[in-house]
Amino acid sequence: MPQLQLPCFPEGITLINQNVGFMRKDNSITYFYGSLPIFTHDIDDMRSFRMITSQLYVNGSASQAEIIRAFGVTKTSVLRSVKLYREKGVPGFFAPRNLRGPGVLTPQVLAQVQEKLDDGDTIPEIARALDLKADTLHKAVRAGKLHKPQKKRTDHRK
């Protein structure tokens, strides 16, 4: 997986081109068009950074090369941000990420599996009975979604 390359924000005003610049003050970044501030965001707010730099490019205020040079980000990250801006606009940067939910181990299946574990069935037996992979069930046990019942100890000292 590629590593995220963070933008470089030096202190003071830095020109992106002859019309656009940005300034870091404490923990915020302010963008200027000429002498007018046009946008401010927290230094750690990557979504806002990607949104404003995409907006600068799409509106014709800065080129991709100027953004790449000014912030030290990769061309790929700029291309992805511009694509997102064109397809979904500003809300696309702030929408919750689409994450896959539990594909196989739904709450109902987890309850079934836990019941069988409590009855003393082994994971391979349960996997065969419910048409699941044993590895999936082992992973759920390791993640704490399922628990194996404690083995009953017999006292052999008698």
In a domain, 69, yes or no: yes
Please indicate, yes or no, whether residues 77 and 16 belong to a single structural domain of this protein.
Answer: yes
Please indicate, yes or no, whether residues 44 and 114 belong to a single structural domain of this protein.
Answer: no
7 confidence band (pLDDT: 50, 70, 90): low
Main-chain phi, psi angles of 23, to 5 degrees: -135, 135
Whether residue 85 has pLDDT greater than 60: yes
Select the more confidently predicted residue: 35 or 52: 52
Q: What is the pLDDT of residue 105?
A: 85
pTM for the model: 0.59
Please indicate, yes or no, whether residues 66 and 138 belong to a single structural domain of this protein.
Answer: no
113: containing domain = 107-142
Whether residue 102 has pLDDT greater than 70: no
In a domain, 32, yes or no: yes
Whether residue 151 has pLDDT greater than 70: no
16 confidence band (pLDDT: 50, 70, 90): very high
Q: What is the pLDDT of residue 94?
A: 93
Average pLDDT, the chain: 87
Please indicate, yes or no, whether residues 43 and 87 belong to a single structural domain of this protein.
Answer: yes
Contacts of 29 (CB under 8 A, 6+ apart): 9, 22, 23, 40, 41, 42, 43, 49
In a domain, 147, yes or no: no
* Residue bearing tokens 């030096």: 10
